[in-house]
A and B are shown apart, each in its own frame.
Chain A
Amino acid sequence: MSQTICEVRGVEKSFGSNRVLRGIDLAMRAGEVTVLMGANGAGKSTLVKVLCGVHSADKGELALAGNPYTPVDAADAISQGVVTVHQSIDDGVIPDLDVATNLMLDKLTAPGAGLFVNDRKLRAEARKVAEAMGLTMNVRQLVSELDVADRQMIAIARALARSPKLLILDEPTSSLSATEAERLFALIDRLRSAGVAILYISHRMSDIRRIADRIVSMRDGSISGLFDTQPLDYEGAVTSMLGHAMTDVDITPATNSAPILCLKAIKLREDSPPIDLVANDGEVIAVTGLLGSGKSQLAEVIFGLSRPIAGKMELDGGSYQPANAKSAVSAGVFMSPKDRASNAVIPDFDIANNMTLPFLGSFSRYYKLSDQKQRRASEEMIGSIGIVCQSNRDGIGTLSGGNQQKVMIARWLLKPGRVLLLDEPFQGVDIGARRDIGRHIRATAKGRATIVFVAEIDEALEIADRIIVLNEAAIAGEHINQNIDLAKLVAEVSGPSRSPALAG
C-alpha cells in the first residue's frame, strides 16, 4: 500500500516577479489521502493547476507511476489518470443537460465516440455510475433542477467514472451538507481501499479529521510541514500553515443592553417550530448550523428578500416588515450577503465605488455625485479595516479574496445602521483577513445589533457574544460565548440523530 503514484520534485512556478511555488517536493501514495492545507495565497491552487495540466511548471519535474508526467493540457492530464474536481461547481456540470448526459460526458467527448447518442444505453450506464456513488436522483432530471450539493456530487461522480490513478479534490465539501459530506467520505474510503491516491485540499478541520492519512501544510509557496505519524498532529499542521499558533480571541460577552430587533414566532417552514430571537444594542450574535439548517433563510427574512410563513418582526419597538432589500436598507437593516462574487462585488467598479454603492445618495451634492466625498470616505475605511491595496482607485478584481470581503463589509459600516447581518462573511477569506474583519466588527458593534451567519463553529466562537444554533429551521441551542460546552454545541449543530463525533 505504499507504492508512490505521483511524485512532485522541486517544482517552481512564477507569474511575473511573483514566485508562487518555490520548490515543492511531494509524494502521493496509493491508497492514501493526502490533505493539503494552506492559507489563501499559499500556492495550493497553483500546485493543483500544475498537476492537472492547466499550468506548466517553470522548474522541477512530475512523475506518474514512475514515468515522467508532463501534461500538455487538462484533457491530457485526465487521459493519463489525473482527475480533478474543482471547487467551482458550475465548471463541473452542464446545467441544461440531464443527469445521465452529465455523468457520461467524457464518453461523448472521447475520441471514437459514435455520431449518434444511444440514450437508452447512456442512461443505463449512467445509472450504474450513479448507484456506485450512492446517488438516488432520476438520471433523466435536468441538472439545473438539482440543488448545489447534488450538482457537486455529480461532478465528483463523473470524475470517478474515469477510474483515476490520482484524484484531486479541491474543497469538495464547501457546498455539501453533513449527510452529503459523509456520503462523499464513504466514497473516498472505498477509493482509498481500491488503491487510488487522493489529494484533498481543505480548510475544514472536521473534514481533515475524518479522512486524512497525512497532512501537508503549505505556506508562501513552500511545504511548511508534513505530518504522517498517527495520531496526526492537527494543531501542529495548523500552526505550520499559519506560521503562528492559533490564538484564541478574547471575548467578553456584552450584556444587558437595549433590544433593537425582535423576532416574534417567526416560522421559516410550514412544519418548523416558531423562532423567537432578540438582538440587543452592541451585541454580536452568531447564528450557526449546517447547510440547510435555515441560516440563510433567516437572514433573507430579516433583510426582506423572503417572507416568513408566520410571525412578525419589530425594529426599535415598531413593526418591521420589509418588502425587499430596498425597504430593509432604508429601515437601517443592512446585509453583507454570502457568495460575494455573485451577490456583492461589482467587478467593473474600483474600491471606492464598490464601497460607497449603497449610500451614493449621501455622496451626492444636488444631483451630482461627489467623487471627492466618495474617495475620502473609502480612504478612511481602508485605513480602519486594514484593506491592502495601492489606492482606492484599484479595480476590485485586483484584490485578494480577503481584501474584497473587507470592502464588501466596509460598505455597510459607512453609515450607522440598526442591524447588520453578515451571511458567511469568512467565505474564501484567509485567516489574517478573518481576524481583521472580526476585530473590526466587534470594535464597531456599539449602536447596532449584529448577526453573523456562519457554518463553521470556530468562526462563531471567534466573533460572537452569543451563539444561536439552528437545526431544521428551529433554534436548537443558545450559548453565551464564555466557557462554552463545545461537545454540547457540536451536538446541537449536528442534530439529535447524529453522533457529535462526526462533525468534529
Chain B
Amino acid sequence: MNNERILNLAIRYGFLVLLAGIVMYFSLAAEGFASPRSAVFVLQSVAITGILALGVTSTLVVDGFDLSIGSVATSSLMLSAYSMVILEYSALVTVLLCLTMGALVGLVNGLLIVKMRVPDLLATLGMMFLLIGLQRIPTQGNSIATGMRLPDGSIAEGTFAAEFLWIGRHRFDMFIEKLFPMPVVVFLLVAVAVWLFLGFTRHGRLMYAIGSNQRAAELVGTNVSRYKVLAYMISGVLASVGGILLAARLGRGDIASGNNLLLDSVAAALIGFAVLGAARPNAFGTAIGALFVGILLQGLTMMNAPYYTQDFVKGAVLVAALVFTFYLSSRRSSAGRH
C-alpha cells in the first residue's frame, strides 16, 4: 500500500520535481541563469516549437498524428515573405493569408484521413513533402528578401511591414523595460486556449473519447469525422501561427525544411504525456514539456556545452518521459487492479 502511494506520487509529480531540480542546478551552476531575463529567453526559445507542439497535441488527442506541421510552418514563413516582399500586401492580409493556408492544409489532411481513409501518418507525410516542394515553386527555390532579383528580371521592392515584424519582435515592459516578447504572449495565449478547449469543453472531451475508442464515441452520437478534421485544422492553423512568428523574427523568407521544428514539437508533446501522470496528450503537459527542453538547452548553452550534447539531452529527456508515461503507468494500473 505504501509502495503504491510512493509510485503514484512518483508518476504524478516526478517530472515536475525533476524540472525543479534542473532549474535549481542551473541557478547554482550557471551565473545569470536565475533572472527574469533568462526566464523570458527560455520562454522565447520554446514559443514557436511550443505552439506547433500544441497543434500536434490536438491531433494526438483524436489518436491521429500530424507530420506536416513543420512544413506548414515553413510554408507560412515563405508565404508571409512572398505576400509582403513580392506581392506587397499589408501585414493584416499577410497574416490572414497564412492562417487560411494553415486551415486549408489542415482541412485537406483531415479529409484525406476521414474521407479517403488514408492512414494519418501517411496522409500527413505526403502533405509534408508536398508543402516542402510547393513553398519553393513560386520563387524557384530561392529565399525571399527585399532587393532580390525575381525570375522576370525585376527587383522585389516590398518590405516586411513594421506591424508584421512587431508580432515577432515587440517586447512588452514588465519588471524590466522591454522584457516580455510578443511571441511568448502568443504562445501563452495559445496554450491557455488549447488547454481550456481540450480539457474543459465538451468538444475537447469528445475528442479525447474519439482518441480512446472511436467506435464508442460514434455510437453515442458524436460526429467523429468532423472532430477529426477539426483537430487537423487546429494543428494546421497553429503551425501557420508558428511560421508567422518565425518570419517576423527572421525578417525574411528563408527556405528550410522545418524538420527540426517537427521533431522538437513532437518531442515536447510526448514529454507532456509524463507531466502530472496524465499518460495521454494534454495541453498543460505539452507546454511544460516544451519548457523543460528549453530550460535544459538554455542552461547547457550558458555553461558552454557543445552543440551535440543538446540533441543527446533532448533524446535522454524524451526517453525518460516515455518511461514515466508507459512503464510506471502500466505498473500503477496493474497494481490498482488487484
**A contacts, CB < 8 Å to B:** 15-18, 303, 305, 325-326, 328-330, 335, 337, 342-349, 353, 357-358, 360-361, 363-364, 367-369, 395, 397-398, 411
Which chain A positions have C-beta within 8 A of B221? 325-326, 328-330, 358
B209 neighbours in A (Cβ, 8 Å): 346, 349, 353, 357
Whether the Cβ atoms of A357 and B220 lie closer than 8 Å is yes
User: A337-B219, A358-B220 are contacts. A346–B212 as well, Cβ < 8 Å?
Assistant: yes
Contacts of B206 in A (CB 8 A): 357, 360
Contact residues in B for A358 (Cβ distance below 8 Å): 220-221
Number of residue pairs A-B, CB distance < 8 angstroms:
81
Are B202 and A344 in touch, CB under 8 angstroms?
no
Contacts of B211 in A (CB 8 A): 348
Taken together as a complex, chains A and B put the C-alpha atoms of A335 and B215 apart, in Å, by 13
Contacting pair A347 B213 (CB below 8 A): yes
**In the complex with contacts A360-B206, A368-B200, A346-B213 CB distance below 8 A:** yes
Contact B205 A411 (CB under 8 A): no
Question: Which one of B202, B218, B335, B338 lies within 8 Å of A363 (CB-CB)?
Answer: B202
| Pairwise interchain contact A369-B200, C-beta atoms closer than 8 A | yes
Tell me which of A15, A347, A348, A361 contacts B202 (CB under 8 A).
A361
B interface, CB within 8 angstroms of A: 196, 200-202, 204-206, 208-209, 211-213, 215-223, 280, 333, 335-338
What is the minimal beta-carbon distance from B224 to any residue of chain A, in angstroms?
10
Pair B215/A360 contact, Cβ less than 8 Å: no
Specify which of A16, A330, A361 is in contact with B338 (CB 8 Å cutoff): A16
- Judge whether A345 and B219 touch: CB under 8 Å: no
Residues of A within 8 A of B216 (CB): 337, 342-346
Q: How far is the CB of B45 from chain A (nearest CB, A)?
A: 32
A326's partner among B223, B280, B337 (CB-CB below 8 A) is B223
In the bound complex, CA of A328 to CA of B221 (Å): 8
State how many angstroms separate the Cβ of A411 from the closest Cβ of chain B: 7
In the assembled complex, the Cα of A398 lies from the Cα of B332 at a distance in Å of 11
Q: How far is the CB of A297 from chain B (nearest CB, A)?
A: 15
Considering the chains assembled together, what is the distance between the CA atoms of A395 and B332 in angstroms? Answer: 12
A223 to B24, CA, bound (A): 61
> Which residue in chain A gives the minimum CB-CB distance to B337?
A398
6 A-B residue pairs with Cβ-Cβ distance under 8 Å, sorted by A, are A326-B221, A337-B219, A344-B213, A346-B217, A358-B221, A360-B205
CA distance A353 to B280 in the complex (A): 16
Cβ–Cβ < 8 Å partners of B200 in chain A:
368-369
Report if A360-B202 is in contact (Cβ < 8 Å); known contacts: A329-B220, A330-B221, A343-B215: yes
Q: Which residues of A contact B215 (CB under 8 A)?
A: 342-343
CA distance A326 to B222 in the complex (A): 6
Residue contact A397 to B208, C-beta cutoff 8 Å: no
Check A364/B213 contact, CB under 8 A, given A16-B338, A349-B208.
Answer: no
